[in-house]
Each structure stands twice: as C-alpha cells, then as structure tokens.
Structure 1
Amino acid sequence: MEITELTDVERRVWEAYPKGRTVDLRETPDDGPEGAPEAGAAWGPERTVRAEILRALLLGDHTRADGEVPLLRLMGARISGRLDLRYAEIAAPIHLWACLFEEIPDLYGAQLRQLNLGRSVLPGLHAIALRVDGSLRLTRCRVRGPVRLGGARITGAVFLDRAHVGEAGATYSEPVLALNRVTVDDDFQADGGFTAHGQVRMDGAVITGNITFDDAVLSDPGGTALDASNLSGGTDFHAMRLTARGRVNLRGARIPGQLNLAYARLSHPDGDALRASSLTVGELWLREAATIEGRVNLRRSHLDLLHIASGTWPDEVRLDGLTYTTLDPHEPAARRLEALERDTDGFVPSAYEQLTAAYRRIGDDAAARTVQLAKQRRHRATLAWYARAWGHLQDVTVGYGFRPTRAAVWLLSLLLVGAVTFALREPVALKPDEAPEFSPVFYTLDLLLPIIEFGQEKAYAARGVYQWFGYGLVVTGWTLATTIAAGITRSITRQ
C-alpha cells in the first residue's frame, strides 16, 4: 500500500508503528462522555483509521532503525471496516486502547505477541484458537456481542476486569463469553464489576494461576450463568460478592486451593443454583453468602474444608457421596441436620457419617451422638412396620444406644414402682421355713434383671393381678436388656 493513499491520521499511525510510538487521538486522557469510545460513531475522519490499513501495517515489512521495536499503540480511534487477522503471525504487540470497532475483529488462529483492547467498544470478538505469547487485556471493554475465545492459548495473563459483555435483555444462541478449552499460563482476572449478560463458558479450561470473579455479575436467568465444568485451576478461584442469576456449573472442576464464594448471591430457582458434583477443591467458602435460591448439588465432591452457615443452604440439596474433613462455622447439630433432611435423594447415610466425623474431629461427641441418633430415626422411616416398631422401642428406651442414661432412668423408675408395689402387697412365700427375709427391692431386681439372681423370685410368688404385674416386669426387663445390649454393641462397633 502506498503511503500517499493514507489519510493524515493513518499516516501518523503508519510512521509511528516501526518506532514503537503512541498515537493518541483523544482530546484528554479521560476523554469525557462525548469523547468516550461509546460515542465513537460520531467521530469524524480526524479520528478514523481503516482496518485494512492496520492489517497492512501489521503484516507488512517495515524498515526500522537500530534499537527500534515495532509497536502498534493507537488510542481513541474509530476502526472502520473489519480487522481481518485470520491465521496471521504478528511479532509486534498490539495496543488498541479506547477504540471503537465498527465490525467484529477476526483473529481466528492468529499468533500474536500481545493484545490489548482495553477500554474499547466492539460488536463482538472472533478469536477461536488464538495464540498470544503474552497477555490478553480486555479491561473495561464493552462488547455488545459474543466473545469467542474457545481453544485459545495465552502464555501470559487474561484481564477482563470491569468489562461488560453482552447486552441486558438480548437473547444469544451461544455463550457471550466462550472460553471453553482455553489454556492460560498465568492468572485469569474478571473482577471489579465484570458483567456478562448471557452465559460465560469455561468448560475444560486450564488456568495455571488464580481465577478471579470478585464483585462480578453473571446474568443468564433460567439458563447457565457460568459453565466451568471440568475446569482445572492452578491455585485459587475467588468469586467473593459474586452475583449469579442462573446456574453456576462447576461439575468435575479441580481447584487445589480455595473456591471462595463468600458473600455471594446465587439464584436459579427452577434448578441447580450451584452444581458442583464431582468437584475436587481444597476449601469451599460460602461465608456469609445469601441464602441460595435453587438447589445445591455437591454429590461425590471432595473437600478439605466446607465453610457454610446453616442458613445459606437452600430448600433442596443433593449431598450423596460428599466428603469433607472440616465443617465451619461450628453450629449445633440440630441446625446442621436441617440441611440433611432437605436432600432430594431421600435418606443419605453417608451425609450423616460425614457430619458425625466432622464433630468428632473437633471433640464434640455430644453433637456426634445427636447426628447418629437422627440418622437412625431417618433410617427407621424406610423400614417395614415390624422393624419400625422395634426401632421405636430402641429409641424410647436407650436412644439407639446414643442415650445410655435413658436405660438407667427406666430401670430406676421400674425398680421404684415394683418395690413400692410389692412392699404394699408382699408375695406369698413358697416355702415359709426356708425362704429368706423378703426384700421388695431385690425381689423387683430379680424380676427385672434376667441374668442376676438374688434368690427372691424363687422363694416368693405374687398372686392375682400382682402376678401379672410381675410378668410385666419380667418382659420389660428382658426387652430393656436386649435393647441396651443392641445399643452398646452398635456403639462399640462404631468405635
């Protein structure tokens, strides 16, 4: 392309490129409302650069003096036409800051040194299989349509902080931000008020550094706001104060450090608000998060620490196969049991065992026994009628072995009643000359305790209704002894 075919502003860009100089077309660094890229459609020729000129500049062979490094750094321009860099190999960094793109840039399969589109306004971005040997910066960008970065490889960091992708009320047939199977060798940053109106898709992404969505707003009501299934993170996933309207899907994700959803607001009333089945993470934090609107699915997930208050759990959960080492904050067992009773899979024994183990690790044996008792009661509802009857008896008498003091109370009560009864109506001696002195207390103990004998029952016999009362004590004693033995056996087996 001949330089004579260029406009004045294009000539400035052409001459600045091989020297690595900046061409700033903004009136002021902040460029108020009229000069902001959102108003770029009104900019005239003095701020307009044709996309074909940029393409020719980047793909051409430019002579430069020793020590000069080519760099395309253009600020505050309107880029007319389509910037077509498909399959291009460009060694010079590209900085197009606060620019307005009239058409969607096409970077399919391109290999770039660095790409900075910060503060720019674009109708979309087509960059599937993009390779960037450095950082990709979309800070404060306004992208009205989909950003396609599937399969991209970024050796540096990715910056989407304070960016806006998609438009409220618009309907998209694809994710507004497609990062599926992307590889990032550094941090991924989408915080500071990052907003997406539509699905953010990160399934199969591999990110070596931190992943940050602090203060982000992801909105896809009725759909999937964030699809990060099978995501592989290198360190932490921070999403503090995240607002997600739509499903957050973390199925099969692997994060060695924290998955921090503290103070988050998750809402998907018609399905899974948080789908994190088969998740493997060091710590899952939901500290002071709002009550989740929608179901939480943590089936088969593995956590070292689960930090969630009982009030954060929604009305429906799925916890079958969930394992964790520590549960915070410490709360009474009765409050923790509420979540287990909301499991849509019904009675899930493993959930009770996990909660029991968490209490035992911190030395709260009373809470652990409460959880185990609740487990037996929940299990009882699944049994046949005769098994339920036996379960009720064990519950009332010894609390399935978790309330051993009940046995002592029953024994003392029956002993008192029996002793008073037989003191008022002494049984008849079978052999008056050989019978020992009658003792109502030891006579009652002989009837109640099936193993120990004090010689009273064989020497004396009650008559009439008192005889039937004695039979009742015998049956009660045997039943009580059996349930106590069953409870003790269960307790020893657990230990």
Structure 2
Amino acid sequence: MEINDLTPAEQRLWRAFATGTAVDLRDTGADERAIRARVLRALLLNGPHEPGEIAAMKIAGARITGPLDLRYATVESVVRLSHCRFDEVPDLSGSQLKYLNLTGSRLPGLASARVRVDGGMRLTSCLFRGPVRLGGAQIAGALYLEDAEITAPAGTEDPVLQLHQANVGEDLCASRLRTRGEIRLDGARVSGSLRLEEAELSNPGGRAFHSEALEVGANVMCRRLSAHGRIILRGARIPGLLDLLYCRLSNPGGTAMQASSCVIGEVWLRKGPPIEGMLNLRRTQIEHLNLEPEMLPDHVRILDLTYTSLTPHVPPEQRLPMLERDGDTFDPHSYEQLTAAYRRSGDDRAARLVQLAKQRRHRSTLSWYGRLWGHVQDAAVGYGFRPLRAFGWLLGLLAVGSVAYALDPPPPLKPAEAPDFNPVFFTLDLLVPVISFGQEAAYAPEGWSQWLSYVLVLAGWILATTILAGVTRTVSRQ
C-alpha cells in the first residue's frame, strides 16, 4: 500500500508505528477518526521499522472500518486499540500476538478462537454486541474482562463468551463483568485466580455460567456475584477458595448451582439471600465448608458430599434440614459427615442429636414391624443416645408396681418358706430379668395384679434389650 493512499489519520498512525508512538484521535472530529482495517493489517504484518526503536500500534478513539482479518497471522508488535469503535467483527482466529489491548472499545463481537498471546489480553470496559469467541486460546499472561459488557442479538443460541479449552497463564479478571447469555469455560485452565466479584450474569432459564472440568490454580472469587440462570461447576478443581459471600443465585424451578464431583479447598457460602433453585453438591470434596443454613434453598443435593470441617458452629436443629432436603433417599453418609464435623469441634451433644436424627430417618425406610421396633427403641432410650430415658421408665414402672402390690399383696406360694413380702423388690424382680431378689419365685399374683406382672416382665425385657442395643451402638461408634 502506497503512503499517498492514506487519509490524514492513517498517515499519523503510519508514521507513529515505527517508533511505537501513541496516536489519540478522541479530540478530533468524527469524520477524521476513521481508519480502514486493511491499513491496520498492513502495518501489523509489514509495517515500517526504525533501527533502535520498537514498533507498536497504539491508537485511541479511532473508528475501524471494514473487517480486520488477522487469521493465522504472526504479529511481532504490541497492539493497543483502546476506546475504538469497530464496524465489523475482528477475526484473530489462530493468530499469534505479543500483546492485545482493546480497553474501552465497542465491538460487534470478537473472533479469536485458538489465538496465542505471549503477554496479556486486556478487554477491560469493552462493549460487545455479539459473541466473544476465545475457545482454545493460549494466553501466557492475564486475561482482563473487568467492567466489560457482552450481549448478543435476540435468537443467538451460542454462548456470548466462549473460553472452553482456553489456557490462561495468570489470572482471569472479570470483576463487574455483565453478560446476557451463556459463559462457557469447559475444560479451561487458569493458572492463577478466576475473579468474578460483583459480576452480573444473566441467562434466565438457561446456563449463565457453564464450566465443566475447570481447573484453577488458586481461587475463584465471586463475592457479590449476581447470577440469573444456571451455574455449572461440575468436575472443577479449585485448590484454594470458592468465595460466594453476598451472592445472589437465582434459577427458579431449576438448578441454581451445580458444583458436583468437584475438589475444592474451601467454600464460603454466606451472607446472601436464600438461593432460588436447587443446590447440587453431590460427590464433591471440600476441605472446609463455611455454609450459612439461611442461604440454603428448599432443594439440596448432597449425596456423597465430603467435608473436613464445617462453620459457623450452629445447633444441629439448623443443620439437619439440609440433610432432609435431598429427595426421599436416605443417605447415611450425610449424617456421618455432619456428626464428624460436630465431633471435631468438640460438641458431642450435637453429634448425638445428629445420630438420633439419622436413626429416625432410617426408620421411615423400614417395614411396619421394623418401624414399630424403632419407635420402641426411640421411646425407651432414644436409640441408645439418651440412655437416661431408660432409667426414667424403670423408675416410673417401679413406682407403679410398688404402689399396686403394696395395696394388694400377692399370696405366697409356700407361706411357711416365703420371705417377708416387699413390694419394691418384688417389682424389681419382675422388671430386671438378670437379677433375682427371691420375691418373684415366692409369690404368685392373682387377677389384675397377675396381668400387671406380665406387663412389668415384658417391659423389663424390652428396656433391657433396647439398653443393650444402645450400649452396643455406642461402643461400636467409639
């Protein structure tokens, strides 16, 4: 391209390129800002160079006309097109760049699948009116999307931000990102942290954030995130913190958040409004779970969820509803996890209450006779977790029997050989099956007192059996 073919704005850019001088067109008239995309392409691929200078394209406030086609090109210079307006979608697919900065620009979209950037890629405060395609991108530095807005025309089914199989060498910074459509990060790898603080992700009834098998080297920071649509983190690997403080997660009638089969170091889910939609944490491993019961929705899936510690420390009555919202399936593992968490904190009473709730939940899955026997054990000794209750029953039955037999003593079998009658020890002989005080064998109740003796003997055996079952359960548990 001959220099004489260039407009005044293009001539300024052409002369500045060789030395990397910045060109700012924001103070010029609208007609003086236009730069043809083919001029940018010619500069980036075959632009002039001066000895001892580093060529770079630095321009602000330009209007880029025509398609910028850099497919599979190798660009050796820095590219900074800030606060520019693109009439057509730039195509950087398969290209190799040193550094790309589009801060504050307005674009109808961005085609950059499999792009390679040796440094960082800055899309801060950009306004995209079409999909941003970065699938398979290899970015050695950080990817910046802070304060960016990405939407797509009505009827577009593709994700508005495509980062599947992308590899980011440092952080992926997307604080205050606003999207209207799906974000896809399937198989993406971020060596640093993924930052989505105060982001607004909206795709009602669909997937707002889809990231299966995401790998993050540090943390996923989502404090004050607002998401309308489904968030999928299935199979994610996050060794650090998943921060969901002050978040608003909403997908009524569907799954608000699916973080199943994940391995996460720490999860904070607190101080936000109740989640609207289902929360799925099945088969996930979490080292520390910081979960506020008030944020849990009506439907929770926690089958095979594993965690080492659980905070904040609240009474088990506030934690148990979480275990009962996982459908109609009885999952003993969930109760064992909660029990272990309370024991690690030193709260044995809370651990016993969780175990008692586990037995009661298990009872509902048994046949009628199993449920009947369960009710007996529960009423007698609380399945062994309330052993003092058995002594209360024994004292009550002892008092009833002692008063009854004192008012109507049974006749002796052999008056000459029978010991003096004692209503208290006679009742104890009936109640305690393994101890004999010589009263039961010497006296034979008649009439209603005989039926009372049958009741006391049967009650004694039931209490003895339930106490033994409770002691055995306690010993095996320890």
Q: TM-score, normalised by structure 2?
A: 0.98
1:160-196 CA deviation, whole Å, 9 max, x = no partner? 00000015x83321000000010001001000x2100
Contact 2:165/2:189 (8 A) holds in 1? yes
2:69 is aligned with 1:84: yes
Give distance in 1, aligned partners of 2:193 and 2:328.
35
Contact 1:138/1:163 (8 A) holds in 2? yes
1:415-494 equivalences under 5 Å are 415-494=398-477
Which stretches of structure 1, 4 residues or more, deviate above 4 A after TM superposition?
none
Give distance in 1, aligned partners of 2:159 and 2:213.
17
2:141 is aligned with 1:141: no
CA RMSD of aligned residues (A): 1.1
**Match for residue 105 of structure 2?**
120
Deviates more, 1:428-437 or 1:258-267: 428-437
2:332 is aligned with 1:346: no
**Match for residue 195 of structure 1?**
178
Give distance in 1, aligned partners of 2:248 and 2:462.
53
3-state secondary structure, aligned to 2:255: strand
Contact 1:266/1:293 (8 A) holds in 2? yes
User: Equivalent of 1:64, from 50, 53, 69?
Assistant: 50
Give distance in 2, aligned partners of 1:333 and 1:171.
48
**Match for residue 165 of structure 2?**
181
Amino acid in the other structure paired with 2:420: E
Give distance in 2, aligned partners of 1:312 and 1:172.
33
Contact 1:318/1:345 (8 A) holds in 2? no
1:7-58 CA deviation, whole Å, 9 max, x = no partner? 111000001001010000112xxxxxxx9xxxxxxx6331111000000000
Q: Could you list the runs of 5+ residues in structure 1 that have no partner in the other structure?
A: 28-34, 36-42
Contact 1:185/1:208 (8 A) holds in 2? yes
Give distance in 2, aligned partners of 1:260 and 1:311.
17
Contact 1:162/1:194 (8 A) holds in 2? yes
Q: Paired residues, what number?
A: 478
Deviation at 1:289, TM superposition (A): 2.0
3-state secondary structure, aligned to 1:90: coil
Give distance in 2, aligned partners of 1:261 and 1:394.
42
Give distance in 1, aligned partners of 2:76 and 2:42.
14
Give distance in 2, aligned partners of 1:23 and 1:417.
101
**Match for residue 39 of structure 2?**
53
Give distance in 1, aligned partners of 2:432 and 2:280.
50
Amino acid in the other structure paired with 1:98: H
1:340-378 CA deviation, whole Å, 9 max, x = no partner? 111125221111111111111101111111111111111
Give distance in 1, aligned partners of 2:441 and 2:328.
56
3-state secondary structure, aligned to 1:473: helix
1:242-296 CA deviation, whole Å, 9 max, x = no partner? 0000000000000000000111000111211010110110011111121000001
Amino acid in the other structure paired with 1:72: M
Give distance in 1, aligned partners of 2:148 and 2:9.
28
2:363 is aligned with 1:377: no
1:291-312 CA deviation, whole Å, 9 max, x = no partner? 0000011110000111111111
Give distance in 2, aligned partners of 1:266 and 1:344.
21
Contact 2:181/2:202 (8 A) holds in 1? yes
Q: TM-score, normalised by structure 1?
A: 0.95
Give distance in 2, aligned partners of 1:302 and 1:348.
16
Contact 1:439/1:456 (8 A) holds in 2? yes
Deviation at 1:466, TM superposition (A): 0.4
Q: Identity across aligned pairs (percent)?
A: 54
3-state secondary structure, aligned to 2:337: helix
Give distance in 1, aligned partners of 2:157 and 2:412.
95
User: Equivalent of 1:155, from 140, 144, 147?
Assistant: 140
Deviates more, 1:333-342 or 1:180-189: 333-342
1:64-100 CA deviation, whole Å, 9 max, x = no partner? 032x101100000000001000001011010000000
Deviation at 1:61, TM superposition (A): 4.8
